[in-house]
């Protein structure tokens, strides 16, 4: 019969499996090797990594649906800003650059998230918009409507305006949306 052996995590010596001291997933040939390993910088890094991993898991458990919605919205908006970089503002036709007035630009929704939450993650409802139009002119919707018709056509606008389905996103759907838009952002960046 073949006897199982493992290597000591400290001195790397082969030891029979029945005479091993174990600490978590590590094996040691003697208590002295275990103590020596516990004091080493590598062990400290392993402990720190385990603590960080545990902390991440706990934070993930505490997240609410609102937190997942925020993450998904941030990923979606980042993608829209990257997609429309270098184009003009859909409302006022000023060019969208990082040096735009107010420092950059936003992802502006034609039908607002508050009035049409079912359209918050639809790419045909969201466009690159300067901060002046989006934040200070409340979306500048009248000019945005003209810009959408000019850029994409009346049929495109009618499709967005006529969509009134009720949509409640689940946490799994929100996680998937976040993942999808982060991947899309990586592809175009």
* 131-171 tens-digit pLDDT: 889 988 999 999 999 999 999 999 999 999 998 888 899 99
Q: Give the per-residue pLDDT at 99.
A: 64
> Can you give the pLDDT at residue 103?
61
What distance in Å separates the CA atoms of residue 77 and residue 105, rounded to the nearest whole number? 10
Q: Are residues 96 and 156 in the same domain?
A: yes
Residue 175 lies in a domain: no
Q: Which residue has the higher pLDDT, 77 or 1?
A: 77
Residue 58, domain member (yes or no): no
Check residue 129 and give its pLDDT: 92
- For 177, residues 6+ apart whose C-beta sits below 8 A from its C-beta are 72, 75, 76, 121, 169
Cβ contacts of 143 within 8 Å, gap of 6 or more? 91, 92, 133
Q: In this structure, is residue 70 part of a structural domain? A: no
Residue 46 in any domain: the answer is no
Which whole-number Å values give the CA distances from 19 to 24, 25, 30, 32, 38, in the listed order? Answer: 16, 15, 9, 14, 19
Does pTM surpass 0.95? no
81 and 159 assigned to the same domain: yes
∠ CA 99-103-108, nearest 5°, is 110
User: Could you report the per-residue pLDDT of 100-115, keeping only the tens digit for each?
Assistant: 555 678 999 999 998 8
The residue among 97 and 45 whose pLDDT is bigger is: 45
Same domain, 14 and 81: no
Tell me what pLDDT residue 70 has: 96
The whole-number pLDDT of residue 12 equals 80
What are 7-34's pLDDT values in tens digits?
Answer: 887 788 887 766 666 656 777 788 888 7
pLDDT single digits (tens) 43-58: 888 889 889 999 999 9
Q: Which helix (H) or strand (E) is 163 found in, with range?
A: none
Calculate mean pLDDT across residues 47-74.
92
Whether residue 27 is found in the same domain as residue 103: no
Give the residue-averaged pLDDT of 113-135: 92
**Given this model, what pLDDT does residue 98 score?**
74
More confident residue, 141 or 189: 141
Q: Strand, coil or helix: what is 76?
A: helix
- Domain contains 7: yes
Do 13 and 83 lie in a common domain?
A: no
| Domain boundaries, position 100 | 77-168
Asked whether 112 and 139 are in contact (CB, 8 A), the reply is yes
Kindly indicate the confidence band of residue 183, based on its pLDDT and cuts at 50, 70 and 90: very high
Q: How many domains does the chain have?
A: 2
Q: DSSP strand E in 103-151: where?
A: 105-109, 126-130
């Amino acid at each position: 019969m073949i006897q199982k052996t493992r290597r000591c995590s400290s001195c790397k010596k082969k030891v029979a499996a029945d005479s091993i001291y174990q600490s978590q997933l590590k094996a040691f040939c003697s208590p002295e090797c275990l103590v020596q390993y516990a004091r080493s910088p590598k062990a400290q890094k392993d402990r720190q990594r385990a603590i960080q991993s545990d902390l991440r898991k706990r934070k993930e458990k505490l997240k609410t649906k609102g937190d997942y919605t925020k993450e998904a919205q941030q990923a979606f908006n980042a993608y829209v800003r990257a997609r429309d970089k270098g184009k003009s503002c859909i409302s006022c036709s000023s060019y969208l650059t990082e040096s735009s007035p107010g420092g950059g630009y936003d992802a502006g929704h034609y039908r607002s998230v508050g009035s049409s939450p079912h359209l918050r993650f639809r790419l045909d409802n969201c466009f690159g918009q300067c901060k002046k139009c989006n934040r200070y002119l409340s979306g500048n919707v009248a000019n945005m409507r003209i810009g959408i018709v000019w850029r994409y056509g009346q049929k495109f606008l009618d499709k967005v305006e006529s969509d009134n389905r009720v949509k409640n996103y689940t946490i799994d759907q929100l996680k998937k949306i976040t993942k999808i838009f982060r991947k899309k952002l990586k592809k175009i960046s």
